[in-house]
Copies of this chain bind each other. A is one copy, B any other.
Amino acid sequence: MRIAVDAMGGDHAPDEVVRGALLYRSEGRGAELTLVGREEVLRRALGTAPREGISVADARDVVAMDEHPSAALRRRPDTSIAVATALVKRGEADAVVSAGNTGATMAAALLVLGRIPGIDRPALCGMLPTTAKKPTCLLDAGATMDADENNLLQYARMATRFMEGVHGVERPTVGLINVGEEPEKGTRLALAAHALLSGAEDVTFYGNIEGRDVMRGITDIVLCDGFVGNVLIKGLEGTVDVFRDGIRNDIFGGILGKIAYVFASVGVRRLRARLDYGPYVSAPLLGVNGVSVVTHGRADASMMRHAIAIAERAVASGLVAKIGAQAAAPR
């Protein structure tokens, strides 16, 4: 197995990406890696480290984090994400991993790999920490605008295969985001999706859940359209940032706060560990015809290592083929 890693994408590229690749390989994991980016920069970052199983593929350009994705891809064919995704298309790699511009990773996957036959629209997973001590998979986090109920049903099926194959969850439950628990609540889309999911035999439908249930981990999968998912996941992230700052500055700032921290540091680490999404934030873009794993722009070496491991598991579990078989199944 070979995984192409976009070595120029993300806030801490290329250094943390390269370190993540070395970390992954140092654990004796299965896949060989191809780092994609400016060759001289990557060779320098690799230095004299043992790099068995790591090769470099040259790409001269990069899509910036705040750049308009499809315009960038159209105008500049030699970006690291385009080159890395093309390796998968040509069969020279089995998966691509990127911490770069999410829109560009999605656009490259759609343009180069295309959709799985039978899947109408792709979906992006947001993997979230919960107080139930297991991650939840929220989708769609923003790949598709104006989804309909049939798209939502396809998302539920794809996420079910993903949570089974990659996270080892048996019969993962699916909660539909809504404004109340009762089946008669919500928009026309929510009502139609509820009816469709209730009748789907290949999905373990829990029913409606509300915004406050997401971080409680009530279901393994949180289902919503890409607009709601994007707004919600960014809203949660913003709130987490507010509290992170508040704990650091309000509670443990100042002299008394610094004394308090001496006694509280174990507890702070406990809370941080409980809400740490590093090990599972990465997820494949579901519905595209190949494994394309998106991880957080803030990814450090440890998160990159995890992202590569997620790609490895997606390939090993035959995720794309399973989604394709399910999409093609007669109903």
Chain copies in complex: 2
Find A246's partner among B213, B234, B274 (CB 8 Å cutoff): B274
B residues less than 8 Å from A261 (CB atoms): 260, 264
| Residue A293 is within 8 A (CB to CB) of chain B in the complex | no
In chain A, residues 124-161, which have Cβ atoms closer than 8 Å to a Cβ of chain B? 131, 142, 145-146
Shortest CB distance A43–B (Å): 36
Residue of B nearest to A225 (CB): B187
A167 an interface residue at 8 Å Cβ cutoff? no
Residue A55 is within 8 A (CB to CB) of chain B in the complex = no
Interface contacts beyond A231-B232, A260-B262: sample of 11 additional A-B pairs, CB < 8 Å, sorted by A: A142-B179, A146-B188, A179-B226, A212-B235, A212-B237, A213-B238, A215-B239, A246-B271, A247-B251, A252-B267, A260-B264
Which A-B residue pairs are the 7 nearest by beta carbons?
A211-B234, A212-B238, A211-B235, A260-B264, A260-B263, A250-B271, A251-B267
Interface on A for B, CB 8 Å cutoff?
68, 131, 142, 145-146, 177-179, 182, 186-188, 190, 210-216, 224, 226-228, 230-243, 245-247, 250-254, 256-257, 259-264, 266-268, 270-271, 274-275
